[in-house]
Amino acid sequence: MRCVWCGSPVFDRDDPLAVDRITPLQESAAMPCPCCSDSLSRGMADSHPLRYCSRCCGILIDNRTFAELLRNRRAARSGAEPAEPRPVDPVQYERRIRCPSCRAFMETHPYYGPGNVVIDSCATCAMVWLDHGELATLETAGERAVSFRSAEVPSPDSGVGVDSSLFRAADRASGGPTFLDLLDLFL
């Protein structure tokens, strides 16, 4: 939720980092937040290092760490009731943010696993940007892959900042490879 006057994020908790279970380390990461330009800080998710923004509570994490963290958290939840998927807001595909490390534009695309979330990734730096609450959404999502046909993914010809090669994976029938499966190909 955003403030209607200034556009700043508004959180309904005293500790918004608790949603994604981030533990602050009180150290600066000397990188700007790609969303609000505040300085990123170092933190931990379980035993995994990451960077987070104390203002908007977004998370910058490398691909391998992201895959391992999500795999471990889902394994710990085995048998738990999955959360109800939320629809993807098509406006999220229009966002263009720069990688805090190399300053190139990050690719904006759906996460190709359970949990309807649009993520940003930098192929050059092998980093993933997750907005506040997206890690928790992915962690608590059901086990089956989702189809993004009904989620109003912009077409590759729309000019929106989505890599068209990603649409081939999104068009696969349910049960196709997930984003974690694809990451495993590069690990």
User: Tell me: the pLDDT tens digits for 133-150?
Assistant: 899 888 888 654 444 433
Report the amino acid identity of residue 128: V
Quote the CA–CA distance of 119 and 124 in Å, as a whole number: 16
User: What would the mean pLDDT of 12-36 be, rounded to a whole number?
Assistant: 84
84 band by pLDDT with thresholds 50, 70 and 90: confident
User: What would the mean pLDDT of 79-98 be, rounded to a whole number?
Assistant: 81
**Strand ranges across the sheet with 59-62:** 23-32, 39-45, 48-53, 59-62, 127-130, 118-122, 107-110
More confident residue, 54 or 156: 54
Domain ranges for the chain: 63-153+161-186
Quote the CA–CA distance of 153 and 143 in Å, as a whole number: 21
- Note if the pTM is more than 0.75: no
Reading the block at residue 170, the tokens are: 């999104």
User: What would the mean pLDDT of 117-122 be, rounded to a whole number?
Assistant: 92
Q: Report whether 40 contacts 32 (CB < 8 A).
A: yes
Residue 53's nearest CA partner among 72, 33, 71 is 33
Q: What is the mean pLDDT of the chain?
A: 76
Q: What SS3 class is residue 79? A: coil
9 band by pLDDT with thresholds 50, 70 and 90: low
